[in-house]
A and B are shown apart, each in its own frame.
Chain A
Amino acid sequence: MVLFALLRLLPGDPANALLGVGATAEQIAAAKAQVGSDLPLAEQFVRFVSSLARFDLGTSFVSQAPVGAEIPNRLTVTIPVTLLSFALAIVLAVPLGIVAAVKADRWYGGVISVVSQLGIAIPVFWVGILLVTAFAINIRLFPSGGFPRHGWAEPLEALRNLALPVLTIAVVMASSLLRYVRSATQDVLGSDYLRTARALGSGFTEALLRHGVRNGVVPIISIIGIELASTFLGAVVVERVFALPGLGSMLLLGISQRDYPNVQGVLFVSTLLVLLIGFIADLVQRLVDPRLRDRMVGSP
């Protein structure tokens, strides 16, 4: 519903997208009838909701292709990019965050903190441009953009093309994730239960692994859920840097062409994905933390 409101608030009739400059009044009326923008708002809304319920996302105003068929195509690029960069970000952030907290007084603990501060301040597209400069031009290890025409039919080629985009998002995401891991670890380190475990004779690493991880991971999981959602936005911009044919470039093209069905479809699907991620994060949190399981449904 919010989507519908946002999109209809946009001035400029979508029918204009169908026409060139200097169209006659009849042509305009015909185009309006075709896209349905001559109907009263209420009726447009009813149509919108009923077609969403049938997972019918309409057809593109510009290309006349069904949106519902185009989105899965685009997702074969965006989902691997999101998941791969996310996995890489976790692999980078968790150990480094723990080290940054435990060894805060050593020089490398400080370096990790400073680098993550840099990573948060950098816009994701600039990381992309820098990586292109470094890897595609000077070292020539990976291509600087594009995607094989046959997509995943050439898996190795596709992966090579995804390497830099994935690295780009992972670096930025790992930076912010790292700070959460670090502060969670700090909380654990200052906790009474860790001191008790140490007093009962377990070694520092053992105490951290057995008691610390389980407690520290709970807030991290909900953060991960939020971060995963923002990875999608990272993908929108990064797909532009590397000219990837993903959901993000579909959204940008849709906005510039006022192709509402495309924009709507992309936003609808991504909102669904974001909600799904939040739901899964919630479930996992309950699995890990028995205290949350006892509470009844719904989180604040």
Chain B
Amino acid sequence: MSAVAALPTRKSRRSWLFALGLTLVGINVAVALLTLVWLPYDPSSTAGGRLETPSLLHWAGTDRLGRDLFTQIMIGSRIALMVGAGAVAIGAAIGVTLGVLSAFATRLLDDTFAAAFDILIAFPTLLLAMLVVAASDTASLWTAILALGIAISAIVARLTRILAKRVIGMDYITAARTSGTSWPQIVVKHVLPNIWPTLLVNFALQFGIAVTAEASLSYLGLGAPPPNASWGRLLQEAQGTVYTAPFGAIAPGLALLILVIGINLSADGLRDIGDPTRRGSR
């Protein structure tokens, strides 16, 4: 780096951003948990006026049926986190398993796996998820989660395979092997502890991508059906009334933006912690 003296300030700025990211994610988690026990309005109550502008009574205004938008956005936060967490959990479970298996497999099997991952990665996450959703007859929250999870698993599998292979090539693995450690033990004791920091950062990034992709899916009408107030669906509904009530098309997007920025900043912070050499780049 150019100036050694500049390093401390940059470092403190970055840890400040990490704290900000964690705070933003924390707020979302808190709101999501809150919706389980308390909501400002009954989400299906149409008591408010239609398409009201934001006021003290309705912080984000009301939608075209007179429902309180802020309540819906709060529920949307829960859905976004559920989809993100569920999709990453599925993607991680499938992806890490396949990736490790592939890294340990015979040459031929490994090449086949690697080619399959590469092909799947050529399809962007959202496109793959669209196909999986199209495959299921009824669109539900779980289809969206499953679809995104499958799409994410290809990315995770590819990364895991590369990382695991790098570890397996090390001398201490040969040493462990000759001293009689079995393959499953090697995976648990040596491979996973060495690759998890990088994987964790990737999971965080995939979480953000999943949240955005879910919003896109529901915006396109391929996500969770109406009782679920997904941010994407709120935006899609608001687009129809954007001429009379533009704020309805802004508020859910802001909520989404806050969550995704929080996730991305947290991922950056995690990467800096896990890999000090990359501090300052990117």
Contacts and interface: CB of A to CB of B under 8 A. Distances in A.
B167 interface: no
Contacts of A126: 215, 235, 253, 256-257
Contacts of B242: 129, 132-133, 137
Interface string B232-271: 1001001100110010011001001100110011000000
A2 interface: yes
A251 B232 CA distance: 19
Given A12-B137, A237-B220, A255-B222, A121 B208 contact: yes
Interface stretch (B37-45, B81-89, B122-130, B190-198): B122-130
Interface of A is mostly: helix
A296 interface: no
A252 B261 CA distance: 29
B131 A123 contact: no
Nearest to A233: B124
Interface residue tally on A, bucketed by range: 35 or more
A138 to B, nearest CB: 8
Interface string B106-144: 000000000000011010101100110111110000000
A2 B119 contact: yes
A230 interface: yes
Interface of B is mostly: helix
B212 interface: yes
Interface string B208-229: 1000100110011110000000
A9 B261 contact: no
Interface residue tally on B, bucketed by range: 35 or more
The CB with the most chain B CB atoms within 10 A, among A129, A132, A256, is that of A129
Given A117-B261, A121-B260, A258 B249 contact: no
Contact of B235 (A125, A189, A258): A125
B235 A129 contact: yes
Contacts of B277: none
A74 B261 CA distance: 35
Contacts of B208: 121
A9 B256 contact: no
Given A10-B135, A123-B212, A252-B220, A129 B253 contact: yes
B2 interface: yes
A184 to B, nearest CB: 10
A160 to B, nearest CB: 19
Given A10-B135, A125-B219, 11 more contacts: A6-B131, A9-B135, A122-B257, A123-B212, A137-B242, A137-B246, A183-B282, A229-B124, A233-B126, A241-B239, A255-B130
The 6 closest A-B pairs by CB, nearest first: A10-B135, A121-B260, A126-B253, A255-B134, A233-B124, A121-B261
